[in-house]
Amino acid sequence: MFKTMLSRAVLRLGGWALETPVPPVGRYVLLAAPHTSNWDFVWLLACAWSAGVDLKWMGKASLFRGPFGPFMRALGGIAIQRDTRSGIVGATVAAFAQQRDLVVTIPAEGTRSAGCHWRSGFYHIARLANVPIVLGYLDYARRRGGLGPALVPSGDIRADMDIVRAFYRDKQGRNPGAFTVPRLIEEDSAEEGASGAKR
């Protein structure tokens, strides 16, 4: 109750509002995008808590060292080693298997700077754990945050990512030029394979 009241007060003071209902499922991967500023974490957490969502989030291990470690974990943080990507996927899938209700949020861009691809861990986690991907967003142009549609991975990565791209097309980050357009490196591999088959 305290977290809900506090987060709603923070949203009001910042001029933000949560504009969508919480999905009627208790287990899902929550995408956090656009991710272009450290402020994204504040507003995302405030939106989630105001809606009563107890989300977990993954952060680089260095954030959990020293005196701030317990605080980060209290905020729902899970420390990860970025150089063991396959281990992260497996550990998260196992966590979903062990818990009835679990919401893991993932900033799939992986960085606050513009890049070429999103990290695909969120997609493989959802597919292997048999949970949907909920398209969470922060739109700084309107100061609105929300939880968009739930996407069940079909295995057709290109088709699924077309849905993701269409959804985020009109969502503006704090630093619009730093947003990485949703695209997975697996899509490039699939296209190269198709081109090679045609030759």
141 pLDDT above the threshold of 70: yes
- Strands 133-139 and 17-18, bridge-based pairing: unpaired
pLDDT single digits (tens) 33-71: 999 999 998 999 899 989 888 888 777 778 888 888 888
* 109 touches 180 (CB < 8 A): yes
If you compute the radius of gyration of the chain from its CA atoms, what whole number of angstroms results? Answer: 17
Mean pLDDT for 71-83 is 77
Which pLDDT score is estimated for 15? 96
Q: Is the pLDDT of residue 193 over 50?
A: yes
CA distance 196 to 199: 5
Reading the block at residue 189, the tokens are: 């591999």
Residue 157 has pLDDT above 50, yes or no: yes
C-alpha dihedral sign at 169, 107, 135, 119: positive
Nearest to 92 by CA among 123, 61, 118, 68: 123
The pairing of strands 56-60 and 17-18 is unpaired
For the chain, domain boundaries: 2-198
